[in-house]
Amino acid sequence: MIALVRGTMAYKSTDHVIIDVGGVGYRLSIPLSTFYSLPETGEVSLFTHTHVREDALLLYGFLTLEEKNLFVILIGISGVGPKLAVNILSHIPAGDLKRAIAAGDIKRLSGLPGIGKKTAERLVLELKDKVGAAGGFPVSPETINAAGTMNSILSDDVISALVNLGYKENLARKVLESMELTPGLTMEETLKGALKVLIR
């Protein structure tokens, strides 16, 4: 799984970008929120989700890990595919989406393009219990790794990113297990910390 793409902006449009990574162009579908925040040229870094279908391998890019995690949660809901999930994130900020789900705001959710009342009700039904009072998705005990300090999904993403950078998976895993990681670290912060250990 490709978890992070960093390279030079080769092409940018409202629904996708092409990033040149060492001479290879990666096409990533993106929400509008990411589009508006990206530069027209220069180096960029996007958190990515690899979506595998029978006939294609698709990449979705997000400027923040919060958006990426919300995307993954959304596509896990029956009736919500990647295209609709990107559309949702294109029309409502991640924080507002969490608050609308927590509050059971069917009117706000069903007002989003492509979201009807039934889909809005499904979002609230399946996600409301996962949203805390502050509008955040709590980490359950099952998602903490053996060291008890890191979300396992985040860990897998960092390991994948290190493998894509040329490091062996078992080495990347050992480095993460040896690090003292505090709760709340972003993927980018964790990746930078792992790279510092690896280049010593």
120 or 140: whose pLDDT is higher? 120
Whether residue 180 has pLDDT greater than 80 = no
Place of tokens 């295209």: 83
| Contact between residue 27 and residue 10 where contact means Cβ atoms under 8 Å apart | no
- Segment among 24-33, 49-58, 107-116, 128-137 with least mean pLDDT: 128-137
For domain 4-62, give the CATH number: 2.40.50.140
Beta-strand pair 57-62/24-29 = parallel
Whether residue 120 has pLDDT greater than 80 = yes
Q: Could you tell me which residues come within 8 angstroms of residue 127 by beta carbon, excluding any fewer than 6 positions away?
A: 73, 77, 101
Query: Which CATH number fits the domain 141-198, given the four candidates 1.10.8, 1.10.760, 1.10.150, 1.25.40?
Result: 1.10.8
Whether residue 105 has pLDDT greater than 50 = yes
Per-domain residue ranges for the chain?
A: 4-62, 65-130, 141-198
pLDDT digits (tens, 9 = 90+) for 55-88: 778 999 999 888 998 898 888 888 889 999 999 9
CA distance 100 to 106: 8
CA within 13 Å, CB half, 190: 33
pLDDT digits (tens, 9 = 90+) for 137-151: 544 333 333 334 344
| Contact between residue 56 and residue 50 where contact means Cβ atoms under 8 Å apart | no
- pLDDT grade, residue 102 (50/70/90)? confident
For 57, list phi and psi in degrees, rounded to 5: -120, 110
Domain spanning 65-130, CATH class: mainly alpha
Q: What is the DSSP string of 5-18?
A: EEEEEEEE-SSEEE
pLDDT at residue 184, as a whole number? 58
1 or 55: whose pLDDT is higher? 55
| Contact between residue 9 and residue 42 where contact means Cβ atoms under 8 Å apart | yes
Across the chain, mean pLDDT equals 81
